[in-house]
Structure formats: structure tokens, C-alpha cells
């Protein structure tokens, strides 16, 4: 198992990657996720091309390249399951800038947290995890630094109001607007909400039409 300094900037990214790989091996390649209609095999292939194939990963955010991304991902998904998950577990290859702890933390902390939950929350009887203080702080740092990017397509403004972690009791506007919603709850659930995922214990405050607009944009 990969180990890392708990104070390292990528500590949570490494921990979530390990936990996700463990869960994928436990459940197998055909388990459902809450990431659209993807199975665990599809999700693993996505993560591998994201780390190993920058030429194909570009299509994740650039629509004109989406066809190439899909072809490369489908090819990756046909790899041996254990080999595919081992590549997920390894993280970015040494030649990639994402292999540096600082960039791994910036690029992958939220990515792997969300995708770990994509698999966890597709199972019956799931419940939110009780995150430790370090995990909450790491997620909050990424929200504060990159939250604007995650909600850039939201038709309404977005304010986040964590109830745990280092910013508990404060509010931060990550997208302005004449109309807005406030996401109030645990940091982990806020992260999932701005990714358009299933949440529990999170209040989305605002006018009903604005809440509906927010919920629709990421799904």
C-alpha cells in the first residue's frame, strides 16, 4: 500500500485513491456508480486516461475533443481489471507533473474524493463518512481555491457555508449573481453538491426556482 506524509499536500488525494482502488477490487468491474451510467470499470478507465493520457484527458473539458477521449477511454476499459485498478492506485506516472505532491493535491484531492463517493453511494445502506480534521481542511482549501471553476456553469450564484472544518460558521461566495443559493452543511457534502452528486445532511437555501436551477445544472 502507498504511504505518504499526513502533512503532505497530497495526503488526502493519496488516501482517497487507495481507498477507491481497494473498493473497486472488492466490488469488481461491473458495480454501479452514481457517476451517470458508468460502472466501476468505466470510472477506472476515466481515471487512468486522466492521469496517463493528457492528449485524451483534454476532451473531458473540451467538447471538440470528446470523441477522441471516448475512444481512448473505451480502449482503456478493455484492459485486464486488476491491471486497470493497479494503474489507478499508482496515480500519475513519474513523467507527469501531477506526480509531484503539490500538483497531485491540487488536481486530485477532490477528484478522488468525489469518485470514491461515486462508488460508495451506489451501494445500498451507504452513509456519509465522518471525515477527520485534516480531510476537512484539505477539502475546504480546494473549495476556496477552485470552487469558482466547479460551479462556473451554474445559472445562479453559489455561496458555501460549511458547518464543520476550519471555516465552520463562515460563508464564502464562489459564484456571484443577482440570484443565488447557499449550500450549508459538512464540507464533504458541499464538495459533492458542487459536483452535482447525491448529498445527505446538506441544506440548499434559496428561492425554490433557484434551488431547482442549481440542482439541474450539474446533472
pLDDT digits (tens, 9 = 90+) for 132-142: 999 999 999 99
Residues 6+ apart with CB under 8 A from 180: 156, 157, 158, 159, 173, 206, 210
- CA-CA distance, 3 to 190, in Å (whole number)? 27
- Is the pLDDT score of 2 beyond 70? no
Residues linked to residue 186 through DSSP beta bridges, in sequence order? none
- Indicate the pTM of the whole model: 0.93
For the cut 80, the answer to whether the pLDDT of residue 7 exceeds it is no
- Select from 183, 185, 165, 163 the least CA-distant residue to 173: 183
Q: Which residue, among 197, 115, 94, 103, has the nearest Cα to 142 in the 3D structure? A: 103
Q: Which domains does the chain have, with CATH numbers?
A: 11-120 (no CATH), 145-217 (3.30.1050)
- How high is the pLDDT of residue 219? 55
Amino acid at each position: 500500500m502507498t504511504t505518504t506524509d499526513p502533512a503532505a499536500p497530497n495526503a488526502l488525494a493519496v488516501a482517497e485513491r487507495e481507498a477507491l482502488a481497494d473498493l473497486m477490487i472488492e466490488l469488481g468491474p461491473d458495480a454501479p456508480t452514481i457517476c451517470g451510467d458508468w460502472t466501476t470499470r468505466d470510472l477506472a478507465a476515466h481515471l487512468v486516461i486522466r492521469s496517463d493520457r493528457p492528449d485524451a484527458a483534454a476532451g473531458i473539458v473540451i467538447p471538440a475533443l470528446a470523441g477522441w477521449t471516448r475512444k481512448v477511454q473505451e480502449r482503456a476499459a478493455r484492459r485486464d481489471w486488476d491491471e486497470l485498478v493497479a494503474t489507478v492506485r499508482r496515480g500519475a506516472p513519474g513523467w507527469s507533473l501531477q506526480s509531484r505532491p503539490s500538483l497531485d493535491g491540487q488536481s486530485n484531492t477532490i477528484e478522488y474524493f468525489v469518485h470514491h463517493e461515486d462508488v460508495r453511494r451506489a451501494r445500498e445502506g451507504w452513509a456519509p463518512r465522518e471525515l477527520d480534521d485534516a480531510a476537512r481542511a484539505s477539502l475546504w482549501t480546494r473549495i476556496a481555491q477552485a470552487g469558482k471553476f466547479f460551479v462556473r456553469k451554474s445559472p445562479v450564484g453559489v455561496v458555501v457555508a460549511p458547518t464543520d472544518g476550519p471555516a465552520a460558521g463562515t460563508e464564502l461566495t464562489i459564484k456571484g449573481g443577482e440570484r443565488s443559493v447557499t449550500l450549508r452543511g459538512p464540507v464533504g457534502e458541499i464538495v459533492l453538491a458542487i459536483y452535482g452528486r447525491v448529498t445527505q445532511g446538506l441544506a440548499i437555501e434559496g428561492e425554490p426556482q433557484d434551488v431547482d436551477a442549481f440542482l439541474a445544472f450539474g446533472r
